[in-house]
Amino acid sequence: MEHEKPLALPSDTSNTPENHQTTHICSECGKTFACWSLLLTHRKIHFQSGSSQGLEAGLKPYKCEECDLCFERKLELLKHQKIHTGEKPYQCLECGKFFRAKSTLTEHKRIHTGEKPYKCWECGKSFSQNSTLWQHNKIHSGIKSYKCLECGKCFTLRTYLQSHAKTHRGEKKKKTYKCFVCGNCFTQSSALQSHWKTHRGEKNVKCLECGRYFSSKSTLARHQKIHTGDRPFECPECGRRFMYSFELRRHQKGHKGEEPYKCGECGKGFLTRKDMRNHERIHTGEKPYNCLECGKCFSRKHTLRMHERVHSGMKPYNCIECGKSFAYKEVLWRHQQIHTREKPYQCIECGQFFRTTSNLRNHIKIHTGEKSYKCLECGKAFARSSYLTSHSRIHSGEKPFKCSECDKCFSQKDTLLKHQRMHTGEKPYK
């Protein structure tokens, strides 16, 4: 196949790669760059109006006869032509995936090894692929060459523009990146790469506040909101604030009355399928999450994690008013309302105010008579899950509350507190 001879780029003769100078100057505007590739990318700004076809011919002289796509190098064209032939001769020995080019296989292998040989000289960030580094360099050069025709917003990468364009079309992002280990899918390759760290057990990002390690900087950033108490997302309906945007979106569905997931046993509605599945364990009695320290079982993974803090003594939630620490986020929120004296949730039946929505929901059951928590042993029903848990100890004989003075055990915490007054001599009721 014959190809046209590559056209030369407009050159700065004093700044060609052959001269190996440390800085490269744009002859159009005088801006300097540390890398030759950055200068080449920057030049596109000056060619964007009026001469885009000439620039395309200069930068991408090798044309595919099948689809008319153009490429900068002959090797890239040959690699592209395998798309039309369907040829994939290179196989990854780790996961069995096939590739058209040996270089693509080499880049893919870095997913398994974690190797990132391409480093940005501006900020020090490393990448597994040279193309990803080249795209990243656009951030430093200030180039946003991809423009949305709907709203005029500009983006550094074509993929960012494509994702943005879906918002105008009302499309949801497709989860095209699949984990070959567990089958989970993701909308971005970077999210998939972060996910792989969970399988490798890799946690190399440390929180300086509590010493906990995380698999990615984004996960650490979300975690650090626990320490700062930052809640930037506010509900316009009731003023309640949230740490994360997904929490706000889920909360707003409650105002709209959206509860698409219904429990087959009692008919109760839920905002998410996960909430419904967690609720169904009340009826089945399933407790799949086991504490390795004491053997206690829980119906929710989140409840197990909170319970584990009893053994570890970890209290990551700090009150910015008085400095007191708490093991649980919900306890911190309730504590903070002591300082603000805030009780924003009102019962429409009797007008009583409450500090939290959970307290309000529990109170409303007094008016409705709802008792959705049923004992599987004797059939007795309760308004709260905590009441059912306490009642269940009658059947199991469990006595988890131990007196530190005489080692006597009790099934209820309030019974332990009453008993301890025998040792202290306290007589609160006169």
Confidence at residue 40, expressed as pLDDT on a 0 to 100 scale: 66
Domain extent listing, the chain: 100-137, 345-424
pLDDT digits (tens, 9 = 90+) for 294-330: 888 888 887 888 888 888 888 877 887 888 888 877 7
Nearest to 334 by CA among 323, 321, 343, 346: 343
Confidence at residue 404, expressed as pLDDT on a 0 to 100 scale: 85
237 in Cβ contact with 252 (< 8 Å): yes
Residue 164: its H or E element: helix 158-169
Cα separation, 6 vs 58, whole angstroms: 7
Report the percent of the chain where pLDDT is more than 70.
85
90 in Cβ contact with 104 (< 8 Å): yes
Number of H helices, E strands in the chain: 15, 28
Q: Which residue has the tokens 């080449």?
A: 40
Confidence at residue 356, expressed as pLDDT on a 0 to 100 scale: 73
Confidence at residue 8, expressed as pLDDT on a 0 to 100 scale: 37
CA dihedral defined by 81, 84, 87, 93, rounded to 10 degrees? 80
Nearest to 11 by CA among 38, 33, 53, 43: 43
Mark 70-108 as b/e (b = at least 16 C-beta within 10 Å): ebeeeebbebbbeeeeeeeebebeeeeeebbbeebbebb
Question: What is the DSSP annotation of 296-359?
Answer: -EES-HHHHHHHHHHHH----EE-TTT--EES-HHHHHHHHHHHHT---EE-TTT--EESSHHH
DSSP state of 206: E
Q: Which residue has the tokens 């306290």?
A: 426
pLDDT at 416 over 80: yes
Would you say domain 100-137 falls under CATH 3.30.160.60?
A: yes
Confidence at residue 103, expressed as pLDDT on a 0 to 100 scale: 80
Cα separation, 212 vs 231, whole angstroms: 21
Question: Kind of pairing, strands 24-25 and 213-214?
Answer: unpaired
Asked whether the domain spanning 345-424 has the same topology as the one spanning 100-137, the reply is yes
Q: Give the amino acid at 147.
A: K
Nearest to 59 by CA among 46, 75, 45, 41: 41
Higher pLDDT, 206 or 10: 206
The model carries a pTM of 0.32
Cα separation, 342 vs 239, whole angstroms: 12
DSSP state of 65: T
pLDDT at 6 over 70: no
CA 175 to chain centre: 14
Q: Domain 345-424 sits in which CATH superfamily?
A: Classic Zinc Finger (3.30.160.60)
How far does the chain reach from its first CA to its final CA, in angstroms? Answer: 103
pLDDT at 429 over 80: no
pLDDT digits (tens, 9 = 90+) for 251-287: 777 777 777 788 888 888 887 788 888 888 888 888 8
Cα separation, 197 vs 216, whole angstroms: 8
Q: Which residue has the tokens 């780029």?
A: 9
Higher pLDDT, 336 or 1: 336
Question: Kind of pairing, strands 32-33 and 62-63?
Answer: unpaired
Q: Which residue has the tokens 């019974």?
A: 415
What is the Cα Rg of the chain in Å?
31
